[in-house]
Amino acid sequence: TSSQRAGTKVAPSLVRFTAHVPAFHIVEVDTCLHIPFTHVRFLSENKTTSHIPTCTSPIDIPGCSVSCDSNEIMSYLSTLQDDVTDTYQFWLFFAFLSLSWIGMAVVVSLGDTICFELLGTEPQKYGKQRLWGAVGWGMCSLLAGFLVDHFSSSALNKNYTPVFYLMLAILLFDTFVSSKIKNVQTSVSPNIFKDVFKLLTEARVLAFLFWCVGVGLCTAVVWQYLFWYLENLAMAQGCDHSNWIKTLQGILMTVQCLGGELPFFFLSGWFLRKLGHVNSMTLVLLSFSVRFYLYSLLTDPWWAIPIEVLNGLSFGLFWPCMASYANIVASPGTEATVQGLVGAVFEGVGVSLGSLLGGWIFDVWGGRETFVIFAVLSFIMAMLHIVFHYLLKMKAQYGLEDDIKERNQRARYASPTEAIHMLEDVNT
């Protein structure tokens, strides 16, 4: 540091201090770096003092001068840092994100309903239809990650513009295809709310909804904080590792979808016949526990690639299990309502709570500890799920059994085993 007072030059002196720097707030311009310190600790022989360097006006530091050859860096130094929630960009992004999730929730719930209606007497083929979503997601994720890294000017400032153009093109194509799909719903219940309320009084259905919440909690941690955690691991190894981080994230999504989800979507009918829905639900929670624990052991983000194969159990088995179970328990004419209810419970309750809880834990304890905590939590939920269904079996409180037998007699399903998965869970 150097200072000038009343025309007297003072020789530079060495100041020792420590500071926590938010890595992704660093601005790189040519050969200059703007590093915003929010909290510094000065080290001396006698004591350590802590300071929060808050500027009340641009570069208003008596006796000190700051200079850099880059005008862009100086503009950052001359701008007060406001709370992000005070900016209109934050709330605009928040509004668009909310609209996006609302639209996705509607599309997913209605899409599953239409899929089952189109399959008619072959609901066991749902997984073979759903796997194409995994193919598209995996391929586009890999392409998007490469495009972001390729068109970015630096490792710290990523350019996401190509992704938005890619999304626009796919959305237009998807809108055209969706307009050609015919809704073939054969019946509508005259008492939808009454029929749905009746389902909510059944112990097994309530257990199913709580399971959806539990899986939503775990899914939120993967969706919201896995990439953040991996970016922190990459930064810990040096700034050079950030050059490929988006490409790595695209590879991870590809492995999640093509290496994990796709085969399990394809084999989901076989898994559900062999294991039953209840055992499959428990397996999903246990897979999350193992997956989170393995994440907590990572030091190199590239080792996350083989872990992503477990997404086959975590999501590839989960989604067909959830969608088919909801379709089975729904009374004729209430399928869309029940699918919407299940989707609302999974994403609206489970994912929302998981995002909030996971964010708080991530902020207070860090990424590694977050995955350890959720590994334990998902294991506990799996054990509670086993105990709960064991108690239900012991008390023989299965109010849906007669309904399923009756619907099976009406030949609503081609194969009796497809319609009585829940009965198999009870009798085995």
- Residue 86 inside a domain? The answer is no
Residue 354, pLDDT score: 92
- Residue 205 inside a domain? The answer is yes
The amino acid occupying position 155 is A
Same domain, 71 and 186: no
Question: pLDDT by residue (tens digit) across 120-150?
Answer: 777 667 777 777 877 787 788 778 878 887 7
**How many angstroms from the chain centroid is the CA of residue 29?**
32
Question: pLDDT by residue (tens digit) across 10-66?
Answer: 445 555 667 666 655 666 666 666 676 666 666 655 555 555 554 444 444 444 455
**How many angstroms from the chain centroid is the CA of residue 398?**
33
- Residue 83 inside a domain? The answer is no
Question: pLDDT by residue (tens digit) across 260-276?
Answer: 888 888 888 888 888 88
Between 154-158, 191-195, 355-359, the lowest mean confidence (pLDDT) is in 154-158
Residue 90, pLDDT score: 83
Select from 77, 99, 133 the last residue of a domain.
77
In this predicted model, which residue has the larger pLDDT, 345 or 36?
A: 345
Residue 281, pLDDT score: 92
Q: How many structural domains comprise the chain?
A: 2
- Residue 243 inside a domain? The answer is yes
pTM attached to this predicted model? 0.65
- Residue 87 inside a domain? The answer is no
Residue 102, pLDDT score: 80
pLDDT-derived band at 229 (thresholds 50, 70, 90) equals very high
Tell me how far apart the alpha carbons of residues 300 and 269 are, in angstroms, rounded to a whole number: 36
In this predicted model, which residue has the larger pLDDT, 79 or 395?
A: 395
Same domain, 136 and 49: no
Give the range of the structural domain holding residue 19, as residue numbers without chain letter.
Answer: 3-77
Mean pLDDT across the chain:
74
Same domain, 139 and 29: no
Per-residue pLDDT, averaged over 164-190, amounts to 78
Same domain, 205 and 304: yes
- Strand ranges inside 174-289, DSSP E: none
Percent of the chain topping pLDDT 90? 17
Select from 77, 103, 136 the last residue of a domain.
77
Residue 384, pLDDT score: 94
Question: pLDDT by residue (tens digit) across 372-411?
Answer: 999 999 999 999 999 988 888 777 544 444 444 444 333 2
Q: What angle do CA 257, 258, 259 make, to 5 degrees?
A: 100
Percent of the chain topping pLDDT 70? 67
Question: pLDDT by residue (tens digit) across 245-258?
Answer: 778 888 888 888 88
- Residue 102 inside a domain? The answer is no
Same domain, 348 and 246: yes
Same domain, 10 and 131: no
Same domain, 25 and 133: no
What 341-344 contacts at long range (C-beta under 8 Å, 24+ apart), as own/partner pairs, is 341/196, 342/109, 342/209, 342/212, 343/105, 343/108, 343/109, 343/112, 344/105, 344/109
Q: Return all residues near 238 (Cβ < 8 A) that are at least 6 apart.
A: none
Q: Which residues share a beta bridge with 49?
A: 42
Residue with tokens 């150097």: 2
Between 127-136, 300-309, 310-319, the lowest mean confidence (pLDDT) is in 127-136
- Residue 108 inside a domain? The answer is no
Q: Return all residues near 335 (Cβ < 8 A) that are at least 6 apart.
A: 113, 116, 117, 185, 327
Same domain, 143 and 38: no
Same domain, 9 and 151: no
Same domain, 301 and 421: yes
Question: pLDDT by residue (tens digit) across 202-228?
Answer: 888 888 899 999 999 999 999 889 988
Tell me how far apart the alpha carbons of residues 375 and 395 are, in angstroms, rounded to a whole number: 31
Per-residue pLDDT, averaged over 347-368, amounts to 90
- Residue 309 inside a domain? The answer is yes
Query: In CATH, what number is assigned to the domain containing residue 343?
Result: 1.20.1250.20
Is residue 332 scored above 60 in pLDDT? yes
In this predicted model, which residue has the larger pLDDT, 33 or 75?
A: 33
Question: pLDDT by residue (tens digit) across 276-302?
Answer: 888 999 999 999 999 999 999 998 888
Same domain, 315 and 190: yes
Select from 77, 110, 141 the last residue of a domain.
77
Same domain, 178 and 283: yes
